[in-house]
Structure 1
Amino acid sequence: MSKENKLNYRLERGHGIILPDAEVGLDVSGNVARHIFVSHAHADHLPRDRHMHVYASPATARLMRVRGFQGDVTELAFRQPVEFDRCRVTLWPAGHILGSAMIEVETDAGRVLYTGDYKTPPSPVTEGFACPEATDFFITEATFPLPIYRWRPHEELFAEMRSFASEALGEGYTPVFLGYNLGKAQEIMHGLAPLGVPMQIHGAGYELCRVYEEAGIALGNWEKYDRATVQDGRILITPSSSLDAPMLRNIRRKRVAYVSGWATHESRRVQLTIDKLFPLSDHIDFFELLELTEKLNPRKVYITHTPNPRVVQHYLAERGIASQPLEMEGYEDD
């Protein structure tokens, strides 16, 4: 096996990566490789061509179809390799959203592990997290690339979210949780489910919730947003884009919480004019990223989806790990 310390790759218009030696495309937009894999169903990882053939996990395939994908999807179970002429590919559960996968590509030139987006410890509304013991080239997101991002345990945050909702309801207010429709909304619902309080979900997230429940993930007592009843002792879960929309303006008495890794910044409270911040992220935090990279011991790390890779590169260099940034698009909220 070759011991080159440089990965042979090219970027596909900033949206996805092509591995020419393996004839593999990772989260690419069109038919630009022989074998195309989708890591998960967030918009910035989905093909813009909705009629192509791709490989994905079963849950990702279902979520893709709900989001309008009309092509053919070959469903691959986690940890079950598929063999091609030039490579072997394995999906590993990424812990980010339901169906999310890290994609391992093995060729004569070495092993590549592409994370897409991932989280460890995993989100409780996913299939969990697992990865190979080692890799040669590690392509990792670094959405939260600074030491200020160290996540608290899920149950600790869920308990605080339940208290926020209960107090608001007890005082005659409608609790509103801001979180994007795929992944974060279902994580919020799962955390609030023990309250037994009816929850309403933004219409764009409603069908996505069905996929989660079909996968055996409990979301509690939920229904689609209804303007006529949302103020009748319900909890509302909706994207932050709803802040200036009639959906929220029509709720006279409300208390609004912002749920995101970006809630680490107290400034978000003033920027968004909200009542409470919950720093609940479905991305890996800074310290887990470093720990996992050390465990994998790659020849080189390629850093994607980050506002600033230099701090991560500095800490990796201190550990003797070479790295470089890759400029890729990333626009789904956290």
Structure 2
Amino acid sequence: MKIQKSGYQGLYFPELNIALDGYHPKADYVFVSHAHADHMPRNRNTPAYASEATLELMRLRGYNGNGQSLSFGETIESNRFRARIYPAGHILGSAMIYIETDDESLLYTGDFRTPPSPATEGFEAPEQVDILITEATFSLPIYRWKTNDELAEEVRTFAKAALVENHTPIFLAYNLGKAQELMHLVAPLNHPIMIHGAGYKMCPVYEKFGIHLGPYETYDRDTCEGKILICPSSALSNGFASNVSNKRIAYCSGWASNESRRTQLTVDQLIPLSDHLDFFELIDFCKQLNPKKVYITHTPNPAVVQHYLEKENINAGHIDIEMNEED
């Protein structure tokens, strides 16, 4: 399959007239992996296929196109290809897109996480593919995550310790995906939660698809003290909870593995809770699928990933797709 970049973020397959996570004027089929802004088509009126949850979240984020929902495992066919989606474990609705022709198979991961976030539909993948196009956000061997259970306990321990000492716990997290995962993790504490307004409007979609988020409401400056607060890091500089004198702040991201983030953001705790898989999980996933070719995307360090893959006798290349973090 010929693969072309489509704008700064998407891909286009001219032989199949397919675009992935982007807009192309000649594409008859556009597939969107998930509802983060750097994966949605920049033309918000583009007709697109995506999971039902992704389409609902996209509409809340300005998508006005004719979206058609696909169930996980459902097949769509043309005279050139067959395609279906697999749950990607990244955020609610996130999907990997699997394309087959008469000659070869391809898997496009979008952003993914395995083991999956507990606030998603889980993770599933085909057993083998010929071509793998994978993100590699955390592309250095310094990135190795704790287990989901260990991270969940770290999140809840931080919240409980702050509340016992009459401090307001604040978790810094992206408004879509990470914020709802944190809500799901602290829900067993049955303590009131307040979430930034931009994240609040996404929460009913999570609840519709069976993700328990606990007792939550939208952020209110006048009544936020003593509640568990969740907001993006940018909100702090805009006055979020600035009236609360006693607070403890935790930064929740894979980038929290870097100790420098503590002083950059002036936080009390770094919790390396990522919605991407770590470096070693990425290498293992590539070995598991045993593709003829791997294309690495969304990465600051493609040469490192290529080096490790080639040590495993996996042919690897790089497609320069721009990285953007949600905030």
Partner of 2:267: 274
Structure-to-structure mapping, 1:230-249, within 5 angstroms: 230-231=224-225, 233-249=226-242
Q: One-letter code of the match for 1:325?
A: H
Q: 1:23 touches 1:86 (CA, 8 Å); kept in 2? A: no
**Greater mean deviation of Cα atoms: 303-312 or 242-251:** 242-251
Structure-to-structure mapping, 1:90-129, within 5 angstroms: 90-129=84-123
Q: 2:195 touches 2:218 (CA, 8 Å); kept in 1? A: yes
**Is residue 256 of structure 2 the alignment partner of residue 263 of structure 1?**
yes
Partner of residue 174 from structure 2, selected from 173, 180, 197: 180
Partner of 1:3: none
d(CA) in 2 for partners of 1:246, 1:139: 40
Structure-to-structure mapping, 1:1-334, within 5 angstroms: 7-231=1-225, 233-333=226-326
Q: 1:201 touches 1:225 (CA, 8 Å); kept in 2? A: yes
After TM superposition, give the deviation of residue 9 of structure 1 in Å: 0.8
Q: One-letter code of the match for 1:265?
A: N
d(CA) in 2 for partners of 1:64, 1:208: 10
Q: Which runs of 5+ in 1 are unaligned?
A: 1-6
Q: One-letter code of the match for 1:123?
A: S
Q: One-letter code of the match for 1:181?
A: N
After TM superposition, the runs of 4+ consecutive aligned structure 1 residues lying more than 4 A away are none
d(CA) in 2 for partners of 1:265, 1:330: 18
Question: SS of the residue aligned with 1:86?
Answer: coil
Question: SS of the residue aligned with 1:127?
Answer: coil
Q: One-letter code of the match for 2:236?
A: L
d(CA) in 2 for partners of 1:277, 1:257: 6
Q: 1:30 touches 1:48 (CA, 8 Å); kept in 2? A: no
After TM superposition, give the deviation of residue 30 of structure 1 in Å: 4.7
Question: SS of the residue aligned with 1:65?
Answer: helix
d(CA) in 2 for partners of 1:248, 1:109: 57
Q: 2:23 touches 2:30 (CA, 8 Å); kept in 1? A: no
Q: Percent identity?
A: 55
d(CA) in 1 for partners of 2:161, 2:195: 20
TM normalised by structure 1 equals: 0.96
Cα deviation digits, residues 220-256 of structure 1 (max 9, x gap): 110000011001x201000011121111322221110
TM normalised by structure 2 equals: 0.98
Question: SS of the residue aligned with 2:97?
Answer: strand
Q: One-letter code of the match for 2:108?
A: Y
d(CA) in 2 for partners of 1:76, 1:328: 25
d(CA) in 1 for partners of 2:228, 2:304: 39
Q: Which runs of 5+ in 2 are unaligned?
A: none
d(CA) in 1 for partners of 2:95, 2:26: 21
d(CA) in 2 for partners of 1:78, 1:97: 14
d(CA) in 1 for partners of 2:190, 2:275: 24
What RMSD over aligned residues (CA atoms) do the two structures have, in Å?
A: 1.1
After TM superposition, give the deviation of residue 47 of structure 1 in Å: 1.1
d(CA) in 1 for partners of 2:102, 2:218: 50
